[in-house]
Amino acid sequence: MRLTLVHPCIGRRPGERYIRSWQMEPLPPATLAGLTPRDIDVRFYDDRMESIPYDEPTDLVAMSVETYTARRAYQIASEYRRRNVPVVMGGFHAVVLARSTDDLPSIREEFNARVARMELPDKHYTALVAPFETRWDSLARESPFADRTSPDRQGPKLTLFLVIAGLLFVTLPTVNLVNVTVSRILERASEIGVRKAFGAPTRSLIAQFVVENVVLTLAGGAIGLVLSAFVLRALNQSGLFAFSAFAVNARVFGYGVLLAIAFGLFSGVYPAWRMARLHPVEALKGGPSR
């Protein structure tokens, strides 16, 4: 019989080694190997340092799992089970299984009520906090404006902060983009005057400049996407952020495309409407008189 022991890391990118491996050395695999009878062939693979040979013949796979390695451990277990190899997983890892996301608020409320009834182990402590939260809420709890002693979710606070910061961050570029668009259209005032003199309707002039502005905005968004991919790859290879793997998210990219289109429309409609309403004589003279 062959037994395969695996120590999972926190995460792994396909085809690459994990950056800045966890510093604590695992004792459970060594303990299991020591307790295993000598007539059993034991193989050990450390996911932090080497690739796991899933196709290597084995009769049983055993892993010690903790909360921060659980996600990677499930991935490893799925690969072995896909090959009809049984997997045994041990360790401590709390998981909430709900029928649907609609049940989570009531489960969270019941959990917090039970925690509130627990007795404190020492009189020096004034509160027991065991938050029932998602990874986003857990990240928000570490933010400077979060209440770490409250069992309530802190994710909405971080979301609100990021939305406000994002709106403030994009306001100045939007104003600048409007000014650039106005200057660009003013340079083509004579073209507008000639087209209006030959009977071009206001609607077609507005459509022309709006489409041009949206195309330019999308081109800028595409360049930003490519640069972001290079920056994220450089961050992954640098190891500056331990236990993190950054990648371009397709959903976020879609939101970015929609945001770029909105900016293109917003910054193009007003300048185009303003110039399209000019009298042909004013347009041929170079734009509205100041």
Last residue of a domain, one of 114, 133, 154: 154
Q: Are residues 88 and 147 in the same domain?
A: no
Question: Which tokens in the block code for residue 61?
Answer: 């796979």
Among candidate residues 211, 191, 192, the one with its CA nearest the CA of residue 269: 211
Q: Are residues 125 and 198 in the same domain?
A: no
Residue 289 domain flag? no
pTM of this prediction? 0.48
Last residue of a domain, one of 71, 92, 113: 92
Residue 77 domain flag? yes
Residue 142 domain flag? yes
Q: Are residues 215 and 279 in the same domain?
A: yes
Residue 128 domain flag? yes
Residue 47 domain flag? yes
Q: Are residues 8 and 76 in the same domain?
A: yes
What length does the chain have? 290
Number of structural domains (the chain) is 3
Q: Are residues 163 and 277 in the same domain?
A: yes
Residue 80: which region, alpha, beta or left (left: phi > 0; alpha: psi -120 to 50)?
Answer: alpha
Q: Are residues 79 and 14 in the same domain?
A: yes
Q: Are residues 165 and 276 in the same domain?
A: yes
Start-end of H helices in 94-154: 104-116, 135-141
* Residues 6 or more apart whose Cβ sits within 8 Å of residue 46: 7, 26
Cα–Cα distance between 161 and 170 in angstroms, integer? 14
Cα–Cα distance between 237 and 283 in angstroms, integer? 55
Q: Are residues 277 and 198 in the same domain?
A: yes
Residue 230 domain flag? yes
Residue type, 70: A
Residue 245 domain flag? yes
pLDDT at 175: 79
Among candidate residues 5, 88, 89, the one with its CA nearest the CA of residue 43: 5
**Domain membership of residue 204 as a residue range:** 156-284
Q: Are residues 263 and 184 in the same domain?
A: yes
pLDDT at 19: 47
Residue 290 domain flag? no
Count of Cβ atoms closer than 10 Å to residue 169 Cβ:
10
Residue 286: which region, alpha, beta or left (left: phi > 0; alpha: psi -120 to 50)?
Answer: left
Fill in the DSSP letter of residue 121.
S
pLDDT at 21: 47
Sign of CA dihedral 149, 150, 155, 158: negative
Last residue of a domain, one of 154, 182, 198: 154
Q: Are residues 9 and 29 in the same domain?
A: yes
- What values do phi and psi take at 245, rounded to 5? -135, 110
pLDDT at 132: 76
Q: Are residues 172 and 265 in the same domain?
A: yes
* Residues 6 or more apart whose Cβ sits within 8 Å of residue 246: 232, 235, 236
Q: Are residues 167 and 275 in the same domain?
A: yes
Count of Cβ atoms closer than 10 Å to residue 192 Cβ:
24
Question: How does pLDDT run along the chain (290 residues), one tens digit per residue?
Answer: 899 999 888 765 555 555 444 556 778 888 888 999 989 999 999 888 888 999 999 999 999 888 778 888 888 999 999 999 999 998 877 778 888 888 888 888 888 888 888 887 777 777 777 777 777 787 788 788 788 777 778 888 888 888 888 888 877 777 777 777 777 777 777 777 777 777 777 788 778 777 887 788 788 878 888 888 888 888 777 766 655 667 788 888 888 788 778 877 777 777 777 777 776 776 666 655 54
Question: What element of type H or E holds 147?
Answer: none
pLDDT at 119: 81
